A and B are shown apart, each in its own frame.
Chain A
């Protein structure tokens, strides 16, 4: 029969249409606006509408998600910031679009380099969010962020981030990337223990 294929296809559309209502009915309010609802709508079991209504709702961000990097500082005992970056320059050298600028500090008396950046810039207009800087930093000092809502009205005066804007505490790092943080902390502690053991000898 001519038209059978079309009818069959329409059947599929109708099924999708009905499914949303059935699902709405079954899950009630929980389907929208809750974490559970969003999780369900990005799972293999979803039927019916799967749209996540940004910005009222947001997709659940996996730990590995990467957006413009930030610099990590540890909080010292008196609340001062201990910047992890030693300005070794590896991230600036590995960055594919070359959007990291690091000004290394120098000892004013001797003129020798000091392991701390005097300034650190990232042009986030140019950053391609590749994550290579974080991957190759030997000190876990630069980490990919989860915050992607960076829209501004004027990119020229806002989008070159300096050290102040890039610095975030290690506790924030721990919050967004608990698994990575724990793994790296373990390695750091092992290293520190080894160092201490060597010093004792």
Chain B
């Protein structure tokens, strides 16, 4: 949703008579800002107009026009629609001023745009690759970059039908022969940037070395059970205290966005399942919402489908939070007991997902204009049993089990603090933001679906520490149960999908940004259509990724053992972080 003020009469245009123009392309919104005015513009936006939260930064390669565009979505932390602004630069030499000084939350996102699209952000404090490694040749999201297994620009591929000669891509392009290094790069001699310090720390001391107390660099991960997947933290320590922490990621990177741009619109739905694989229903929703915005009034979601969407999304939130609490306790060293108690409830909800969608985790349940199928017999009753009877009881039990535990409190209280100002500045989202005292929830701030019909409170806690991030998840589970109770009571009869879905469809040209309050925070999908059956640009604003921007700040000054639980309290899933 754009800000209600008409773009053409927006006071911003008065404030910046030069260098800011409305974006007049058909199907586009917001403003185009001249690159040299960008920092000034963003500062005014934040300080004078109240857009203090920069949610998404991404780039689009408009190859036919010879342009690179950087797209920003900013919000007011008090709620309301997005203000979209863009910077266009020539494709051959795309240089854009960095906004990290205005919005620190742009840090990782700008690095990602540099990594994948080759847009240079002048003034960025640490502009290096983030998802790829230094030995990677080229910028893969550029439209003229081709992957090793490249077959055609767009799916469906011609070789599948009617000729149908089966082959394996990997046989034609064997591993080892498909790697290209950048010129002047030698993998044998390369040491990752920043790792010299690491190796220096491992060096054996010789007798004549001076004995000095120095800061030590310690590598946590990438393959360590406490890091929730293949994720690495390079920590600089002074004694046991964290001085600086740098997250290193990308081990699970598969260029989800490039795959998404080869896919047709429909094909992307099951791929979104694989982002945050604990909450596939929410992922589906975010993406479907963006495409439905592009389709406009060509499509209306039936009432029953709207309710089913809410029901599935809220069950997903419960599944996710209950799992997050379980793993957090794992990180604390409670070993598997709390985790297994959490899994038990999760299992019962996954049974419902399986009965409805056919899969426990890769649900692929949402469709443009509704959901894939109606509830099979017996499922509605099962849901009611859980929501009205079992879950409230079990959540209370979990509460009783953990909340007052002295060890939990001692380890979590006052650890990993993020102040409200910092949380907003770092573009933190979801439970991390709300545990820091900012009551921002997309379901309320910018309602989508039918969330405006339900009574629920936006959970908020004020200390911004690990303990509050634990408590807020309990609060949110309780609110989700409340929503579920209302939704199940009100669930109307009727169709679950609009019209009869086509296997391939053209989508009107334009851009759209769909965002939902996923369990981990604001999950956004930025989709640009050129009017064909495949998206021109498909970008995921991944909360697991952006929430990590604040990780270093949260860990500074805490002990190294706390870094593990701070990471646990952010609750990331690497499928989404690395995309």
Contact = CB atoms under 8 A, between A and B. Distances in A.
Interface residues of B, number: 57
Contacts of A117: 164
B266 interface: yes
Contacts of B266: 94, 132
A101 B264 CA distance: 18
A103 B162 contact: yes
B161 A62 contact: no
Given A6-B407, A44-B389, A98-B157, A129 B164 contact: no
Contacts of B406: 2-6
15 contacts: A6-B406, A8-B400, A9-B402, A9-B404, A64-B357, A65-B354, A89-B161, A92-B156, A96-B268, A100-B160, A119-B166, A120-B164, A128-B362, A135-B372, A136-B501
Interface in B374-389: 376-377, 382, 385-386, 389
Contacts of B165: 101, 103
Given A5-B405, A64-B373, A94-B266, A101 B354 contact: no
Given A4-B404, A50-B344, A64 B503 contact: no
A31 interface: no
B401 interface: yes
Contacts of B162: 87, 89, 102-104, 113
Given A65-B358, A93-B504, A103 B267 contact: no
A113 to B, nearest CB: 7
A179 B351 CA distance: 18
Contact of A64 (B155, B344, B355): B355
Interface in B347-368: 347-348, 351, 354-359, 362, 364
Given A4-B404, A5-B406, A136 B503 contact: yes
B160 A102 contact: yes
Given A64-B373, A89-B162, A98 B270 contact: no
Interface string A123-142: 10000111110011000000
Contacts of B389: 44
A42 B359 contact: no
Interface residues of A, number: 49
B168 interface: yes
A98 to B, nearest CB: 5
Contacts of A92: 156, 160-161, 164
Given A93-B503, A128-B362, A179-B376, A101 B386 contact: no
Nearest to A66: B358
Contacts, number: 144
Nearest to B263: A96
Given A5-B405, A5-B409, A93-B161, A44 B166 contact: no
Contact of A130 (B341, B347, B364, B408): B364
B411 interface: no
Given A8-B404, A92-B164, A103-B162, A44 B359 contact: no
A99 to B, nearest CB: 9
A62 B400 CA distance: 34
A119 B356 CA distance: 33
Interface string A98-120: 10111110000000010001011
Contacts of B355: 62-64
A9 B401 contact: yes
Given A8-B404, A62-B355, 11 more contacts: A3-B406, A12-B400, A12-B401, A63-B355, A65-B358, A87-B161, A94-B264, A101-B165, A131-B364, A132-B266, A136-B503
A179 B385 CA distance: 24
